[in-house]
Amino acid sequence: MPFMKGAIKKDEYYVVIFGCGRLGSRMANWLSSMGCSVVVVDRNESSFDALSYEFTGFNILGDATELDVLKEAKLDKADVALVLTTDDNTNLMISMSAKEYFEVPRVVARAYDPNNIQMFSDFGIEVICPTLLAVENVKNALYFISGDEK
């Protein structure tokens, strides 16, 4: 079974993750434990401290908005790019490069501002919006207001 809905089944996936913060590091650790080849790119060396001792991938210190860094990450070989920095504009720029220039089949990006979701989607980029996810979780926690019983 593929590790991502809609993914083509392969023996091994090559995943490039941009941003090694709380989300990026956890995804890198999990994907590595699933047997994926993982490369993590971040501009802050201390961010890589969040990777577990079991992490078997590689890390690249650099600015992912620079073409040389994307080439060093071998983005052209990636099955999936996860763009998880803390800035929507940076995420859009990296995602568009991954999708258009490097032709990565699956690009998933984080967009904090729900108003930016359509812009990402217009370029064929799959979007995760923590703001909307949090809203849904809070609504579920307040189920009693809507009268829905759990």
> For the chain, what is the largest distance between any 2 Cα atoms, rounded to a whole number of angstroms?
55
- pLDDT score for 1: 36
pTM: 0.88
- Is the separation of the CB atoms in 14 and 36 below 8 Å? yes
Buried b (16+ CB within 10 A) or exposed e, 132-147: eeeeeeeeeeeeeeee
List, for residues 116-139, the tens digit of each pLDDT value: 999 999 999 999 999 999 999 999
Look up the CATH superfamily of 14-146: NAD(P)-binding Rossmann-like Domain (3.40.50.720)
**Domain locations along the chain:** 14-146
Closest CA to 38 of 48, 26, 51, 28: 28
Closest CA to 103 of 130, 77, 133: 77
Mean pLDDT by 10 residues, the chain (150 residues): 55 94 97 96 97 96 97 98 97 97 97 96 95 92 71
Distance CA(147)–CA(17), nearest Å, equals 41
CB atoms within 10 A of CB 45: 10
